[in-house]
Amino acid sequence: MRGALLLVACGFQTVGSPADLAGAPCTLAPYGGCGGGEKCVYFAGGTRCAPDGTVPIGGRCTTSRDNDTCQGAATCDFVSAAGVGVCTPWCLSDGNCTSLSLSAANPSRCRFVAGAPPRCSIPCDPLAAQNGCATPEFGCYLTSTGGGSSPAVTDCIPAGMAVPVGGHCDNIQDCVAGAMCITNTSGFCRQICNLVMPAQCAAGESCVSTGSINDSYGVCCPPGC
């Protein structure tokens, strides 16, 4: 077994809001407390009711000063520098995310985020040309659940799609679709592979589990990776 590799942690951009905005108290999970045409949003360390959005779970969303375009019990997550994110539903545990799972091997799980409430992952297939995400703007990556029942899951994320396999990276979104930013002392984009069928790796590379990736996926590593 090789030494442990690590996925570069992925951040969550919280949209700042002025402190004088007031709203009715509400709950994210279980979801409730707002009237018709409104939704509960995470706001300045608490919650408030805001106008409801129209974008369904898994869809392409944008943010405003104190709200986003997601519909109902979801938030605009993984917001890119361009202000584009993916609508992900709030959760308390993996059980809240079961309906989003693609299969037992590729489930949706409750992903815990530092400094913000947890939300479900949006599962996808990082090895498929049609990865299952709602828009070509999204890449399929592996993200940490940060305290969930499994160390990593697949997730649709607005993709940088810039750094090629083997190139240096700092964040998950830096790499081309189908690759992950993996770090020992510095980050490198590595091709995602299937641990059961590792033929996707280039000659001289092997598909290895990093200890941070789930039972289905690994990354292609050259000697000494």
Mean pLDDT by 10 residues, the chain (225 residues): 38 33 71 92 88 96 90 93 92 93 88 87 88 89 65 80 86 81 77 80 84 73 79
pLDDT at residue 64, rounded to an integer: 85
pLDDT at residue 185, rounded to an integer: 56
| Residue 141: CB atoms within 10 Å | 27
Domain residue limits, the chain: 27-132
pLDDT at residue 95, rounded to an integer: 92
pLDDT at residue 81, rounded to an integer: 80
Answer for the pair 214, 152: CB distance below 8 angstroms, yes or no: yes
- Give the DSSP letter of residue 13: P
Q: What is the pTM of this model?
A: 0.78
Calpha distance 64→12 (Å, rounded): 15
Helix or strand (DSSP H, E) at 207: strand 206-208
pLDDT at residue 180, rounded to an integer: 83
pLDDT at residue 142, rounded to an integer: 81
**Cβ partners under 8 Å of residue 160, min gap 6:** 80, 171, 173, 174, 175
Calpha distance 130→135 (Å, rounded): 10
In sequence order, the β-bridge partners of residue 42 are: 47
pLDDT at residue 17, rounded to an integer: 34
Burial label for 225, CB within 10 Å (0-12, 13-18, 19+), is middle
